[in-house]
Amino acid sequence: MWKKLIGWLVLAIIILIYLSIGVYQVGPSEVALIKTFGKYTHSTGPGIHFHLPYPFQSHVIVDVETIRKEEIGFRTIESYGKISYRTVNEEALMLTGDGNIISVEAAVQYRIKDPVKFAFNVINGKELVRFTTESVLRERIAVRTIDDVLTVERDKIALETAEKVQEILDSYDSGILINKVYLQEVAPPDQVVAAFDDVNNAKQDKERFINEATKYANDVIPKAQGQAEKILREAEAYAQKKILEAQGETQRFLSVLKEYEIAPEITKKRLILEKLQSVFSSTKNIFVLDDSGTIKLLNVNDLIGGDTK
C-alpha cells in the first residue's frame, strides 16, 4: 500500500516538474510568442503565464519597447564603469563621389514594431540592421563630394540613409522600425589630416582673395563707369555745341550770300569795312608811308565811317 502511494506521489511530482516547464514570465517591455507544435499561434503580454510544456508548446520572448542601437565605424567599450570608443577602420573609411576617402562613424537606432515578423522572418536582426545601414550609408556618401559630406549634407545623408534602410527592411518583412540614423563623427582619415588641412587653408585663402578682389572691383568699377559717363556727356555736349555753331555760321554765310547776289558792290564794301572795323577796333590813328616817302596820318574813324574811339 505504502509503496503504491509513494509511487503515485513520485509520479505527481514528476508531472508537476514537467508542467512547471510551461510556466514563463514576460517583462513590461516584452511580448511572448507562443508556438504550438512549432507553429506560431498567439501572443501574450507582460506577466506570468503558462503554456503546455515541450514538445506541445514553446515560446519566444521579444523586447518591443527598448530602443536598440547599432554602431557603424566604431564600437563603444565599457571598462570598469568608463566608456571609451574604438574606431573600426574597415567600416569607417568610405569613398566619396570626388574620389576622396573619408572616415564616417554613424549609429542607427531601431526597435521592433512587429515581433512575429522579427522573430520568425529574420535570423539575425542585429547584423541585418548594421550591414544594411553600412551599405546604404556608403551609397549615400559615394554620390557626394567630401566637402558636402563634411559640411552641409550631413543631416541630409543621415535622413536619406534612415529612409532607405527602412525601405529595404520592409521589403524583407523584418518587422523592424528605424528610429534614427545619425552621423556621430565625420572627418578625413588620420593619415591625410595634415594634407587636408592644407587644402582647406588654400581654399579659404582662395575665397578670401576672391572676396577682396570683388570688393575692390565693386569700389572701382562704379567710379570708372561714372567717369566714363561724365566724359561721354561732355563729348556729346561739345559735339552739340559745334553743330549749333556750324549751323549758325552756315546761316550767316547764306544770308551774306543772298545780300551779295542782290547788291554785290555794296555788300563787298560793307564786308571790307566790317573787317577793317574789327581789325582796327582798338586803334584811333595809323601812320602810312606812301610811295613818295611821306608819312601820313590816317584817321581810322574817317576811313571806316564808324564810331571807333
Instruction: Look at residue 287 in the predicted model and tell me its pLDDT.
Output: 62
Integer Rg of the chain from CA: 54
For 105-127, what is the HEC assignment?
Answer: EEEEEEEECCHHHHHHHCCCHHH
Tell me the three cell numbers of residue 208: 578670401
Tell me the C-alpha to C-alpha distance, in Å, between residue 120 and each of 162, 165, 241. Answer: 24, 20, 100
Strand, coil or helix: what is 300? Answer: helix
Strand, coil or helix: what is 26? Answer: strand
- Residue 183 contacts by C-beta under 8 Å, 6 or more apart in sequence? 104, 105, 106, 154, 157, 158
The secondary structure of residue 48, as a DSSP letter, is E
What gap in Å lies between CA 226 and CA 223, rounded to an integer? 5
Nearest Cα to Cα of residue 187 among 107, 88, 104, 106: 104
Instruction: Look at residue 307 in the predicted model and tell me its pLDDT.
Output: 46
Tell me the C-alpha to C-alpha distance, in Å, between residue 158 and each of 56, 94, 111, 180, 281. Answer: 46, 15, 18, 8, 98
- Residue 11 contacts by C-beta under 8 Å, 6 or more apart in sequence? none
Instruction: Look at residue 308 in the predicted model and tell me its pLDDT.
Output: 41
Omega before 189 within 30 of 0, i.e. cis: no
- Where are the chain's structural domains? 18-64, 66-189, 190-261, 263-308
What gap in Å lies between CA 90 and CA 132, rounded to an integer? 15
List, for the chain, all residue ranges whose pLDDT scores fall below the cut of 70.
283-309
Tell me the C-alpha to C-alpha distance, in Å, between residue 259 and each of 61, 248, 252, 273, 276. Answer: 128, 17, 11, 15, 19
Instruction: Look at residue 35 in the predicted model and tell me its pLDDT.
Output: 92
DSSP letters for 172-202: TT--EEEEEEEEEEEE--GGGHHHHHHHHHH
Tell me the three cell numbers of residue 181: 540614423
Instruction: Look at residue 286 in the predicted model and tell me its pLDDT.
Output: 65
CATH architecture classification, 66-189 = 2-Layer Sandwich (3.30)
* Phi, psi torsion values for 175, nearest 5 degrees: 75, 20
